[in-house]
Structure 1
Amino acid sequence: MMKLNIRVACLVALSTLAVGVSPTLSNANPVPEYQTDGVTVINNNIELNRAKNLARQAAEAANGGLGNYRAEASMHGTSKESPFVDNGDGSWTFTFKGYKPGMSVYNVESVVTVSQDGRIRVDYNGRIRQLSQF
């Protein structure tokens, strides 16, 4: 009987925690974006992080998959540190470099635009055009 009560107590505690962090409730009152020195600060990075991941995955697919291509580290880190431009129309454009696994030199530049509704457009995928840009 004691083991059953412990199991029930654990189940109730976990259920309470799960309801407390419900994604439905987490964005009930999102903080608006604001401008500082000409840079838009995005307080809700969920959409931007999703867009970053979609852009990276599009470049991976365009370059033959993970066996042939790796995106630069900034495309795996936090979204606010990724190389993006907010286009002001509900989309972001990511410009980043990649390389072949086992190599140490970037040799591919990808420019991918992702809209908040998940539409993806590979604008450019080829040789690096400007070294000074990065």
Structure 2
Amino acid sequence: MKIPTIASAITSAIALSLLTFSSTPAQARTFSTSCVTPQTVNGNTITFTPALTRARNLARQAAEKVNGGLSQYRAAASMYGPSFEAPCVDSGNSWIFTFTGSQPGSTIPSVESIVTVAKDGSKVTVDYNGSIRS
């Protein structure tokens, strides 16, 4: 009975791993950040991408800033969770977020914010920030 040497064991392990990885199709091993999933939210079809998550964060941060910072204001939970839960409308070159907020610890919203964010993140505009409207 022949005892395998360390070199032959290593060579066998490398060959086995190469066969395992090369048998997997290239598509299964690639990751694309440009994958999009259209969703319908409140009758609006929105394409969710990493850019939408970034835009949601920019909109929330803009509202936090104009309302005195995190010590004075917290946006609605929908602005912290998954981007598909964010209240937004796709307006072509930008997303428009309409959401409420309140003082930290309060469960009663007291401020409504409407923030437009360019899809490339280059421009953030607070369109409205004030009393909650109907």
TM-score of the aligned structures, taking structure 2 as reference length = 0.67
The match for 2:7 is none
Structure 1 position 111 matched with structure 2 position 114: yes
Q: Which structure has the larger Rg?
A: 2
The within-5 A match list for 1:1-134 is 26-27=31-32, 30-31=34-35, 39-42=44-47, 44-88=48-92, 90-118=93-121, 119-130=123-134
Alpha-carbon distance, 1:93 to partner: 0.2
3-state SS in 2 of match to 1:58: helix
- Runs of 4+ in structure 1 over 6 Å off: none
Unaligned runs of 5+ in 1: 1-24
TM-score of the aligned structures, taking structure 1 as reference length = 0.67
Q: Can you list the C-alpha shifts for 1:18-68, whole angstroms capped at 9, x where unaligned?
A: xxxxxxx7437x4567687x74352x5200000000000000001000000
Identity %, equivalent residues? 54
The root-mean-square deviation of aligned C-alpha atoms, in Å, is: 2.2
Count of aligned positions: 102
How far apart in 2 are the matches of 1:83 and 1:35?
A: 12
